[in-house]
Amino acid sequence: MSDYHHGDLRKGLLEAAHAVLNEKGIHGLSLRACAAKAGVSHAAPTHHFKSLSGLLTELAVIAFGEFTKALRKAYDDSDSEVTLHQRLQAAGNAYLQFALDEPELFKLMFSSPLPDQSNERLIEVSGQAYAELTRVVKPLCDAKGITDKATIEQAELLAWSTIHGYAHLSLKQQDIYGVCDDMTGGMPPMAILGTILEQMK
């Protein structure tokens, strides 16, 4: 039996859940499987997370934090001389890369009913990721003289829908065919999206 300390066990169970998720997918997840992976008793996870949903909610919170960091890094690492469209492209590429690198985690974050979607921390961190992704949209709207809040929100939703939809379809393609060349060259729809945003009034 493992000699985890209290704090280490919590971290160890989260790491185990991530590993089981990668190995078996969402449908292979259970508290018992996570406990076995961590080398602890099957009852140990309930002391920290109470339920599978609690464990996966915390895993999703951590994942969204890492996701947000990846989007922010893509934006901040862009050369100061690049255009707003290129910044949007960089964010889209980072979004896609995260999905391709962590497909099962991405599905847990966006497609699974298992995390508690009413959890305040999960709501907060998922909102931060959305804000990071779309933060280039308002400057694009400002450049076009668009100040109407509803129009800006529609543009943000358009950007997210385009990026998320392409990432989701890419994962489907990856599941069926494996990684294809056209999935490693960035996100082609971003040029079209930039044109649409440019034409908004």
pTM of the model: 0.85
Mean pLDDT (whole number) for 88-99 = 89
Residue type, 9: L
Q: Tens digit of pLDDT for each residue in 105-116?
A: 999 999 999 999
Same domain, residue pair 16 and 86: no
Same domain, residue pair 74 and 151: yes
Same domain, residue pair 96 and 140: yes
Range of the domain at 96: 53-199
Structural domains in the chain (count): 2
The CATH code of the domain that includes 27 is: 1.10.10.60
Give a three-class secondary structure readout of the chain.
CCCCCHHHHHHHHHHHHHHHHHHHCHHHCCHHHHHHHHCCCCCHHHHHHCCHHHHHHHHHHHHHHHHHHHHHHHHHCCCCCCCHHHHHHHHHHHHHHHHHHCHHHHHHHHCCCCCCCCCHHHHHHHHHHHHHHHCCHHHHHHHCCCCCHHHHHHHHHHHHHHHHHHHHHHHHHHHHHCCCHHHCCCCCHHHHHHHHHHHCC
The CATH code of the domain that includes 91 is: 1.10.357.10
Share of the chain above pLDDT 70, in %: 83
Same domain, residue pair 3 and 80: no
Position with higher pLDDT, 170 vs 2: 170
Position with higher pLDDT, 65 vs 137: 65
Same domain, residue pair 43 and 57: no
Same domain, residue pair 18 and 68: no
Same domain, residue pair 26 and 67: no
Q: Is the pLDDT of residue 188 over 70?
A: no
Same domain, residue pair 1 and 74: no
Q: Tens digit of pLDDT for each residue in 37-92?
A: 988 887 777 777 889 999 999 999 999 999 999 999 988 877 677 788 888 888 88
Same domain, residue pair 145 and 184: yes
Same domain, residue pair 154 and 173: yes
Query: At 190, is the pLDDT very low, low, confident or very high (cuts 50, 70, 90)?
Result: low
Q: Is the pLDDT of residue 125 over 70?
A: yes
Same domain, residue pair 102 and 74: yes
CA-based nearest residue to 186, from 96, 114, 101, 108: 96
Same domain, residue pair 79 and 112: yes
Query: At 1, is the pLDDT very low, low, confident or very high (cuts 50, 70, 90)?
Result: very low
Query: At 187, is the pLDDT very low, low, confident or very high (cuts 50, 70, 90)?
Result: low
